[in-house]
Amino acid sequence: MATYRMTIVSEPGPAARGAIALLIADVDGTLVTPDKILTPAAIDAVRRLGEAGVGFTIVSSRPPRGMAPIVEQLDITLPFAAFNGGSLVAPSLTLIEAHRLPQEAARTMLALLSARHVDAWAYADGDWRVRDPTSAWAPRERRALGYGPTQVDNFDDVIGRIDKLVGVSDDAALLASVEAAARQLLGATVTINRSQTYALDITHPKANKGEAVRGLCQRIGVDLRRTAVIGDMINDVAMFAQAGFSIAMGNAAAEVKAQADASTDTNENDGFAKAVRRFVLSPAAAPTGGHA
């Protein structure tokens, strides 16, 4: 098993207990602005983490290809997690480990989405596949990923290789009903989460951000208790439960904030950079809660 060990500034002895050695950040809604931009403050915050000997990496519902520009811009040298943790990826974009959607679960979910007239996107073989490229949310996804979709008639040719299936709708009530039906139909055979208000992600049962944090810490060689995480959506709560310290963005829903140790400002107001300064780089940084 490939490992990517980082140098820990100090072991967690009596004087260093609680010190953060690794920060794992969600991307959309957290690290980037609503316009999908890395601000100068965010870039500087990651640079300062490196200078302080604190590791940094990212986890996202995006595919690896859609995370590559951020990995390059921030000079990330540790593995990162794509597809909500379904894929662990080296900074070179070499796939380390993948958990893909079970074939029968994919068929069941596609049938449900079709029956409820909800658009389906499938990510497989490095492509973003859609049946309708004119979907209202496609431009937003294109902007986030940095590349466009591949139009297909169906997903039969990749049914056993889907990394992530997404139900897309601007009808919140409809998407909620589809989520409830999917949980009843598929149960523990998949992971079902909202990565955006308009997107319902369906992935392998091990493809969740909690497993991602565990897998990244194991490969990097950092104790979970010395790991901090930061996110904004309900799919980020799974990593809150694993890390030693968790931070919710100011733009997060109340139910997400309630499950974090601390909260910060919004992604429109450099909440990520403010959290790094207050909760990670501050000499008093420790998992005691608060608000940046």
Q: For 225-252, what is the mean pLDDT? A: 96
29 located within any domain: yes
34 has a pLDDT exceeding 50: yes
Asked if 149 and 284 sit in the same domain, the reply is: no
pLDDT of residue 284: 58
In a domain, 228, yes or no: yes
In the predicted model, what is the mean pLDDT of residues 242-264? 97
Confidence of residue 290 (pLDDT cuts 50, 70, 90): very low
138 shares its domain with 214: no
Q: What is the DSSP secondary-structure string of the chain?
A: --------SS---TTTTT---EEEEEIIIIIS-TTS---HHHHHHHHHHHHTT-EEEEE-SS-HHHHHHHHHHTT--S-EEEGGGTEEE-TT--EEEE-PPPHHHHHHHHHHHHHTT-EEEEEETTEEEES-TT-TTHHHHHHHHTS--EE-S-SGGGTTSEEEEEEE-S-HHHHHHHHHHHHHHHGGGSEEEEEETTEEEEE-TT-SHHHHHHHHHHHHT--GGGEEEEE-SGGGHHHHTTSSEEEE-TTS-HHHHTTSSEE---TTTTHHHHHIIIIISSTT--SS-EE-
What's the mean pLDDT when you consider all of the chain?
A: 90
In this structure, are 141 and 227 located in the same domain? no
Average pLDDT for 166-173: 92
Domain boundary at 167, 185, 203, which? 203
157 within some domain: yes
Is a pLDDT exceeding 90 seen at residue 143? no
Q: Which of 187, 203, 219 is the last residue of a domain?
A: 203
Q: What is the CATH number of the domain that holds 191?
A: 3.30.1240.10
- Least confident window among 142-146, 159-163, 173-177: 142-146
Residue 89: inside a domain: yes
| pLDDT beyond 50 at 15 | no
pLDDT of residue 261: 97
Same domain, 90 and 111: no
The string of pLDDT tens digits covering residues 50-68 is 999 999 999 999 999 999 9
The packing angle between helices 172-186 and 103-115, to 10°, is 140
- Looking at residue 285, its pLDDT comes to 53
The answer on 276 and 192 residing in a single domain is no
Domain assignment present for 79: yes
14 pLDDT above the threshold of 50: no
Same-domain status, 197 and 224: no
Give the pLDDT mean for 188-192.
Answer: 92
pLDDT of residue 283: 58
Residue 272 has pLDDT above 80, yes or no: yes
In a domain, 277, yes or no: yes
Domain end marker among 203, 230, 264: 203
Q: Does some domain include residue 7?
A: no
One domain for residues 110 and 188: yes
Residue 8: inside a domain: no
| Domain count for the chain | 2
Q: How confident is the model at residue 11, as a pLDDT?
A: 36
Q: Predicted confidence band at 16 (pLDDT cuts at 50, 70, 90)?
A: very low
What is the domain extent for residue 166? 103-203
